[in-house]
């Protein structure tokens, strides 16, 4: 894509009205979004720092897209006072008329990139920061989007036909688990932010960075020890899967 078209696209996107009621990006990622948008070769098209939500859906509806969800509780922050949050969730569950589900959704970011190699660089940074489900989309008209996505997940059904199926003790534990995931999510965002700045800084600064840090960040490879006690092919599918992702990492590690 030529420079003028990309810049026009960028201006159009960044100047258009933010349709969110908040009217701005989430606090925990505003520095990342600003930094990306300050670069000539990138601009962000959507983002969410991560959130904990409780939503209600129509019971016994097999079609996910027709469940007509309503939201009972949502926060983008780590829950500082877990008992207060637990009470919010309990009150939310009292309003449930269908199947209520508790969910943690991690950081997600979509970035439009000028050239494919710009997307590759961003993808490398995302993978090495722990966002292993990241990927590139190339549209028919040349639009290149890099999506930063995590493998993090937590999705817990809590009620069925408005009948709550779990105890308060379980809700306390669940909020703690979601908090741990939110904390890990924030660490990864921080790592992504630091790696991104290092990768996009001017060439002369980058050299000194690489000398100092290439053994700590970019050469780091994920190794997991796994004590497997069930004999099933899926473990090996998983291992195979892991190996494949490691291979991808190897290819990408020295792109910067």
- Restricted to residues 191-220, the positions that interact with a second copy (CB under 8 A) are none
Selected binder of a second copy within 154, 186, 194, 206 (CB under 8 A): 154
Q: Does 94 bind a second copy (CB under 8 A)?
A: no
Residue 55: helix, strand or coil by DSSP?
A: strand
Contact flag: residue 184 with a second copy (CB under 8 A): yes
User: Which among 78-86, 196-204, 211-219, 232-240 is the span making contact with a second copy, rule CB under 8 A?
Assistant: 232-240
Q: Is 16 left (phi over 0), alpha (psi -120 to 50) or beta?
A: beta
Q: Is there binding between residue 251 and a second copy (CB under 8 A)?
A: yes
Comparing CB distances to a second copy, the nearer of 135 and 190 is 135
- C-alpha closest to that of 122 among 26, 193, 214: 193
Q: Which 3 state secondary structure label does DSSP give 68?
A: coil
Instruction: Tell me: does residue 141 bind a second copy (CB under 8 A).
Output: yes
How far is residue 115 CA from its own chain's centroid?
23
Task: Tell me the H-state helices in the chain.
Answer: 3-15, 30-37, 82-95, 116-128, 168-200, 203-213, 233-253
By CB under 8 A, how many residues form the interface with a second copy? 87
Q: Which of 37, 82, 135, 206 binds a second copy (CB under 8 A)?
A: 135
Determine which residue in the list 80, 167, 203, 216 makes contact with a second copy, applying CB under 8 A: 167
Q: Which residues pair with 164 in a beta bridge?
A: 159
Selected range binding a second copy among 2-10, 40-48, 189-197, 206-214, rule: CB under 8 A: 40-48
* 175 lies in the site for a second copy, by CB under 8 A: no
Q: Which stretch binds a second copy (CB under 8 A): 1-9, 62-70, 194-202, 209-217?
A: 62-70
Token digits of residue 123: 């993808």
Longest dimension (CA), the chain: 62
Counting contacts by CB under 8 A, is residue 16 touching a second copy? no
Among the candidate windows 30-38, 119-127, 197-205, 211-219, which touches a second copy by CB under 8 A? 119-127
Which burial class, exposed, middle or buried, applies to 31 when counting CB atoms under 10 A from its CB (0-12, 13-18, 19+)?
middle
Quickly list DSSP for 16-27.
S---SSS-S--G
Bridge partners of 148, per DSSP, are: 109
Asked if 136 is part of the footprint of a second copy (rule: CB under 8 A), the reply reads yes
Q: Does 73 bind a second copy (CB under 8 A)?
A: yes
**Minimum CB distance to a second copy smaller for 44 or for 198:** 44
CB of 3 to a second copy, least distance (A): 20
């Amino acid at each position: 894509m030529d420079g003028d078209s990309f810049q026009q696209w960028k201006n159009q996107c960044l100047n258009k009205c933010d349709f969110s009621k908040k009217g701005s990006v989430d606090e925990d990622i505003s520095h990342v979004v600003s930094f990306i948008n300050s670069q000539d070769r990138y601009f962000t098209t959507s983002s969410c720092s991560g959130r904990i939500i409780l939503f209600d859906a129509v019971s016994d509806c097999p079609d996910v897209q027709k469940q007509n969800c309503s939201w009972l509780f949502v926060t983008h922050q780590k829950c500082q006072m877990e008992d207060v949050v637990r009470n919010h969730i309990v009150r939310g569950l009292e309003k449930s008329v269908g199947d209520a589900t508790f969910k943690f959704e991690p950081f997600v970011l979509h970035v439009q990139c000028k050239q494919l190699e710009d997307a590759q660089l961003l993808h490398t940074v995302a993978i090495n920061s722990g966002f292993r489900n990241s990927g590139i989309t190339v549209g028919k008209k040349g639009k290149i989007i890099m999506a930063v996505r995590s493998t993090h997940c937590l999705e817990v059904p809590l009620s069925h036909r408005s009948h709550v199926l779990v105890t308060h003790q379980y809700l306390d534990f669940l909020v703690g688990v979601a908090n741990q995931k939110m904390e890990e999510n924030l660490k990864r965002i921080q790592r992504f932010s630091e790696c991104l700045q290092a990768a996009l800084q001017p060439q002369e600064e980058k050299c000194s960075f690489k000398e100092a840090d290439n053994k700590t960040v970019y050469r780091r490879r994920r190794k997991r020890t796994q004590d497997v006690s069930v004999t099933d092919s899926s473990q090996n599918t998983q291992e195979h899967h892991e190996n494949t992702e490691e291979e991808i990492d190897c290819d990408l590690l020295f792109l910067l």
